[in-house]
Chains A and B, each alone.
Chain A
Amino acid sequence: MVDFARVQKELQECNKDIDVSGISIKPKGDNLTHLAGTIPGPLATPYEGGTFNIDIILPDGYPFEPPRMQFATKVWEYQAGNNETLKGLLVTTLYIASISVYTPAMLCSVALLHMVLTRHPNISSQSGAICLDILKDQWSPALTLKTALLSVQALLSAPEPDDPQDAVVAQQYLRDYQTFAATARYWTETFARTSALGVEEKVQKLVEMGFPEALVRSTLESVGGDENMALEKLCSG
């Protein structure tokens, strides 16, 4: 049984100094076993300026068993044939963004796209799984969700490509750091940079992707300015 009293205290504690750490944890749904954490991308890294969402699931044995954490995946759902133009657009966008992780053919073949929008050698670009020792055998009950998230943040600034979760990304990191950094930065700016952009920039970006301006504006408005959600809606529209 999860120790909810402790989780409650942890959440309070964490959200108290949210201004300092930038790390927040919120319950996802009614009970406290499924949480959503956010961490700011560390400065002087390709992730700077982005906000990264982490899915947290607490196992029954928490805090004696480690929490399960992974980078949130973005899900685009579209029906093949429903809107060919939009589908093509999405595929092109994702293809450019991922640079060779997915081929256009691969992208076209799926109706439901799960994409991890953080590019990092220790994070699986398929599932968002994080390769971090304290989330596995090095977990100690004395650690907290906040300290775990801080470790994830530290991982963003200091990747360990020799112990990779995603071999493709790790290889790119080791062989061609420039391209890796550029891609990671592009992903951060495209998908993780929500609050930092002004409305006009968001509109412009979505219009550049090929959506009609009026539609972009109304969609953005309807989702409260969240660029990603707007993109999602536009695509599935």
Chain B
Amino acid sequence: MEDCTSSSEQDYYCSDQDSLDGIDNDESHVQWVPPKASSCKVITKESLLAAQREDLRRVMDLLSLREHHARTLLIHYRWDVEKLFAVLVEKGRDCLFAGAGVTLVENHDLPSSSTIMCNICIEDVPGADATKMDCGHDFCNNCWTEHFIVKINEGQSKRIRCMAHKCNAICDEAIVRNLVSKRHPDLAEKFDRFLLESYIEDNKMVKWCPSAPHCGNAIRVEDDEFCEVECSCGLQFCFSCLAEAHSPCSCLMWELWTKKCHDESETVNWITVHTKSCPKCHKPVEKNGGCNLVSCICGQAFCWLCGGATGRDHTWSRINGHSCGRYKEDREKKAERAKRDLYRYMHYHNRYKAHTDSFKLESNLKETIREKVSNLERNELRLKDFSWVTNGLYRLFRSRRVLSYSYPFAYYMFGDDLFMDEMTKEEREIKQHLFEDQQQQLEANVEKLSKYIEEPFDQFGENKVMEIRMVVINLSVITDNLCKKMYECIENDLLGSLQFGIHSIAPYQSKGIEKATELSVCWNPKVTNTEKCPTRDYHTNGITKESNRPSGSGSLDESGCSSRKRPRKESTIDLNLPAEVIDRN
């Protein structure tokens, strides 16, 4: 391990030495760029209407429709405007409308003064008390109201069909609202809320933030649902599965892993493999060596082979007065297998756990680092910029996180559970070596970075501080690159080569998990307040004092990393702690 680090470190020193200034700029760049428009948006209660309007407006403009028709179309096509337009081009306007239950019969005859016969209550009612829907069906207002109430209570308010048999038309929401509010104002409100929330409920690209207690927000992503986002409430999660952010594990891997860690199946496994229950007191007994005669702490002696109670007299090869069958071979194999699986799991789990624990310890560094920086500032050194400390710390958190999640990934990637049939044994071995190589490099550098950041450099002299600064900056770049490479390797060489593309991971983001920005609603003054939210982190961290430097030019660091290209947000310092750490803080 030691060899490996020093050699790789040397490499990086050589190659990076001359471009040191550039790196320096890059590092500051990470931090000083003001947030650009993010591809993820936070949708609050206030901006929900505006978010919906955007899509409604597009459809209304293109098809010159009224709002409720546009909404009906969009609900039917699950708010997928592109798909809606595709159907329009492919099948035409009439088919599009018929499929969604939109009927445009513009025969708005004035309400006839004569009476009409309502086919529902079978009564004659004055024309003024009846309503004709767009589909041309005319019933009395009482019956319409009853119908709407029943449907809203059934939870079908998003698509209330006309009362006529086999009429597929969806009722005009204005009429529904109008009639229902006369009798049940609260129900009309419920109806409105259902329509509004349909934008979230029926939309693949919008999901409720999984925070508990619920923050009331929803998150909208642009083109890719495999991403990790941070809601304005601070919760970071995987948009695809709504669990904590877990890349480079795929959602399925993470689900299996958390389940495995939670249930005690492994413990039970261990007990069945390593112990036998005593025939007298039924406690599990572990054999600690010697021959097959074992005695329990309760004093009972029994045969380790068959578990039967015996006397105490024995030789090395047999127990007096006791004989039992031989080992059954398949049982032995099974036990072997269980033992191997258990060791394998323990290997990965121990490392996963170790890195998560380091995480927790390192998160305490925030405080000490802050102190160190203020000490250094007091020391009146020539060096005035201490952003490298913060950046280094940030990089440490980020890489540590990647590292810890890489273990469950490896457990499933190279285990028998998921991809048994997809790779030959040889392929698997090659890939495993490739991956473990990268993992080890990353691990070594992360540990090194951690060590340097924990040094009491505020007590050191100027030269020593400069030296540490150089190392920290270098290591930051190295770990970032290694993370980037690991993700690339996973996306392209490991998961990418699989037959069934069910495993997708959120791409690596050098700057940490993307913070969703508030959806800008120009006419809503409330939003201007909330838009300040992301900057709040600055102050709470308290370590980004000189945060107003102008941003540098583009650099290798800015590109983040992913085989997939997507717009990325440059965010402020972002400590991506795992959920349990956040909970504790």
Q: Which residues of A contact B (CB under 8 A)?
A: 3, 5-6, 9-10, 61, 63-65, 134, 140-143
Contact = CB atoms under 8 A, between A and B. Distances in A.
How extensive is the interface on chain B, given as a class? 10 to 19
B178 interface: no
26 contacts: A3-B121, A5-B121, A5-B122, A5-B123, A6-B120, A6-B121, A10-B122, A61-B150, A63-B120, A64-B146, A64-B147, A64-B149, A65-B150, A134-B165, A140-B164, A140-B165, A140-B166, A140-B167, A141-B120, A141-B143, A141-B147, A141-B163, A142-B119, A142-B120, A142-B163, A143-B165
Nearest to B154: A65
Interface of B: 119-123, 143, 146-147, 149-150, 163-167
A137 B71 CA distance: 23
Contacts of B146: 61, 64, 141
Nearest to A140: B165
B122 A9 contact: yes
Contacts, number: 35
A23 B146 CA distance: 29
A115 B519 CA distance: 63
B150 A64 contact: yes
A142 B122 contact: no
Nearest to A65: B150
Contacts of A61: 146, 150
A6 B143 CA distance: 12
A63 B165 CA distance: 12
A134 B150 CA distance: 16
A9 B122 CA distance: 8
Given A63-B120, A141-B120, 18 more contacts: A5-B122, A5-B123, A10-B122, A61-B146, A61-B150, A64-B146, A64-B150, A65-B150, A134-B165, A140-B163, A140-B164, A140-B165, A140-B166, A140-B167, A141-B146, A141-B163, A142-B164, A142-B165
Nearest to B161: A140
Nearest to A137: B156
Contacts of B120: 6, 63, 141-142
Contacts of B143: 64, 141
Contacts of A5: 121-123
Contacts of B119: 142
B472 to A, nearest CB: 65
Contacts of B121: 3, 5-6
Closest 8 pairs (CB-CB, A-B)? A140-B165, A64-B150, A141-B163, A141-B120, A142-B165, A9-B122, A64-B146, A142-B164
A5 to B, nearest CB: 7
Contacts of A63: 120
A134 B166 CA distance: 10
* Central interface residue in A6, A140, A143, by most chain B CB within 10 Å: A140
Contact of B122 (A6, A64, A134, A143): A6
B138 to A, nearest CB: 11
Contacts of A143: 165
A141 B167 CA distance: 11
Contacts of B149: 64
Contacts of A65: 150
Contacts of B122: 5-6, 9-10
A143 to B, nearest CB: 5
A3 B122 CA distance: 10
* Central interface residue in A5, A9, A63, A142, by most chain B CB within 10 Å: A142
A88 to B, nearest CB: 49
A5 B166 CA distance: 25
Contacts of A9: 122
A20 B121 CA distance: 25
A149 B413 CA distance: 60
Nearest to B156: A137
Contacts of A6: 120-122
A161 to B, nearest CB: 24
A142 B547 CA distance: 69
A195 B352 CA distance: 81
Contacts of A141: 120, 143, 146-147, 163
Contacts of B163: 140-142
A93 B163 CA distance: 47
A43 to B, nearest CB: 26
Nearest to A143: B165
* Central interface residue in A3, A64, A143, by most chain B CB within 10 Å: A64
A42 to B, nearest CB: 21
A10 B166 CA distance: 20
A49 to B, nearest CB: 31
Contacts of B165: 134, 140, 142-143
A5 B149 CA distance: 20
Nearest to A147: B165
Contacts of A134: 165
B387 to A, nearest CB: 63
B495 to A, nearest CB: 40
A37 B165 CA distance: 22
